[in-house]
Every structure is written in structure tokens, then in C-alpha cells.
Amino acid sequence: MDVKKPTRLGGLIGDFLRQGELGKHFAEEQVKEEWMKLAGGNVARYTNSVSVKDGKLFVKLTSPLLKNDLMMQRSVLMKRLNEKVGQELLNEIIFL
């Protein structure tokens, strides 16, 4: 008789959410929330909208100067966001 070790419920739920379409939508929503945290108050103030589709994060900004500055940091921001959600969800950030 095999005795299984106890598993934390949070770990089981996390595994479930990472699988399938539900997990993808959950991760996309998490990326949007993490963008606002990572960007900080000043950037968030100039952010009109944030959306994720097909591995791309679309961030609509009201400041052309900020857009230019963030484009220079795009790869670092993408890496940090992927780390926050625990998977390689994003392959591009597009500033509009």
C-alpha cells in the first residue's frame, strides 16, 4: 500500500490554475495587476489601459516621453512580469 505525502491545498489549486484555458486567463489578469505594481504610481497615472493577448502585453500610455523611456526598459519589464506570474506568458510588450 502506497502512502502519499500530504499536499498543500494552495499548491494543488496553483497547479490546477496553471493548466488549461482557465490558468491562462488567470495569469493574464495577474500580469495586468503586476504591471500596475511594477510600474509604480507615476507610470500608473499615465496608463490608460492594459491588456494581454497572444503573449503580448498592450499598455496604452498618455505620455509620449514615458512611452519612449519604457520602450528602452521593455526587456527588463517583461522578464520581471514573467517572473511574477511564474511562467513565460509574455513574449512582447507593446506601448501604445
- What are the residue ranges spanned by the domains of the chain? 23-95
Nearest to 60 by CA among 23, 95, 25: 95
Buried b (16+ CB within 10 A) or exposed e, 45-73: ebbeebebeeeebebebeeeebeeebeee
**Beta partners for 92?**
56
The pTM for the full model equals 0.73
| Tens of pLDDT, residues 29-56 | 888 888 888 888 888 889 888 998 888 9
Is CATH 3.30.70 correct for 23-95?
no
* Confidence (pLDDT) at 31: 84
* Confidence (pLDDT) at 25: 73
* Confidence (pLDDT) at 93: 93
Residues of the chain with pLDDT under 50: none
